[in-house]
């Protein structure tokens, strides 16, 4: 999969020179190309912003440098990649969107900055995405989160499907508790079921714990997934136990 990133701060993406994403890049599972928007300005000062028409605080990114950068990318490939704008006005990113994007072979992400971007770039945009209802200095951190999330779903990036299929949000639920050695630490013991070697009992325990923690912390998620008959019984037990306390 190819990620093309348009940004004013390419050095921020050095974070992808480490860990899982670095390994995926080394193995040619993903390609990450970073383009500095300032390199595509037409003025000697590499200016990319100006005062907003109508007045107001802050500066607005100009449309021309972004169009020039996109044209450069289009000339490389012969087409415009699926283009995403990091924007607080966009749909809120979640695991389902991550899955959708992982099935697109080539994605271009544009990172905004300052008070916004000239609205005339919108003909270039296929989708606007936000990572939450809060304010960031620019789109770079949001862009990194999306690249990281999507990359994990690309076959071969992680060691096995279990590495992401059991994680929080992949199945629509929060993840069950995890334990490792030693069996007892400062008086806290690993649940006996995880030491039993009984795979079906372990599966049921993990599902029950996922349902329990989701019910407690993010009950809204339960309305968005299809619950099996087994899930419904577990959830009923969880609710009854809560009432008894």
Q: Which residue positions form the known binding site?
A: 112, 131-136
Instruction: Determine the angle formed by the axes of helices 229-244 and 199-217, rounding to 10 degrees.
Output: 60
**∠ CA 218-99-164, rounded to 5°:** 70
Alpha carbons 159 and 20: distance in angstroms, whole number:
10
Whether residue 59 has a cis bond before it, omega within 30° of 0: no
Beta bridge partners of 3: 32, 107
H or E element at residue 118: none
Question: What is d(CA 15, CA 196) in angstroms, rounded to the nearest whole number?
Answer: 40
What gap in Å lies between CA 37 and CA 47, rounded to an integer? 10
Q: Which residues are annotated as part of the binding site for S-adenosyl-L-methionine?
A: 112, 131-136
Helices (H), 84-125: 95-102
Determine the Cα–Cα distance for residues 68 and 7; give it in Å rounded to an integer: 13
Tokens at residue 157, please? Answer: 């990036």
């Amino acid at each position: 999969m190819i990620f093309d990133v348009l940004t004013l701060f390419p050095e921020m993406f050095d974070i992808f020179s480490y860990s899982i994403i670095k390994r995926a890049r080394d193995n040619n599972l993903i390609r990450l190309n970073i383009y500095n928007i300032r390199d595509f300005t037409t003025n000697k000062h590499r200016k990319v912003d100006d005062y907003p028409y109508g007045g107001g605080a802050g500066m607005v990114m100009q449309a021309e440098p972004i169009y020039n950068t996109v044209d450069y990318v289009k000339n490389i490939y012969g087409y415009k990649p699926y283009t995403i704008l990091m924007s607080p006005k966009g749909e809120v990113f979640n695991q389902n969107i991550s899955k959708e994007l992982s099935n697109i072979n080539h994605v271009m992400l544009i990172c905004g900055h300052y008070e916004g971007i000239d609205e005339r770039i919108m003909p270039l945009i296929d989708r606007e995405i936000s990572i939450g209802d809060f304010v960031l200095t620019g789109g770079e951190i949001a862009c990194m989160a999306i690249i990281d999330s999507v990359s994990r779903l690309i076959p071969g990036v992680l060691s096995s499907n279990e590495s992401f299929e059991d994680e929080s949000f992949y199945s629509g639920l929060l993840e069950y508790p995890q334990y490792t050695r030693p069996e007892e630490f400062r008086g806290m013991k690993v649940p006996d079921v995880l030491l039993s070697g009984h795979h079906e009992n372990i599966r049921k325990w993990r599902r029950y714990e996922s349902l329990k923690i989701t019910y407690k912390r993010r009950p809204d998620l339960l309305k968005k997934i299809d619950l099996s008959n087994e899930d419904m019984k577990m959830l009923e037990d969880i609710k009854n136990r809560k009432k008894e306390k």
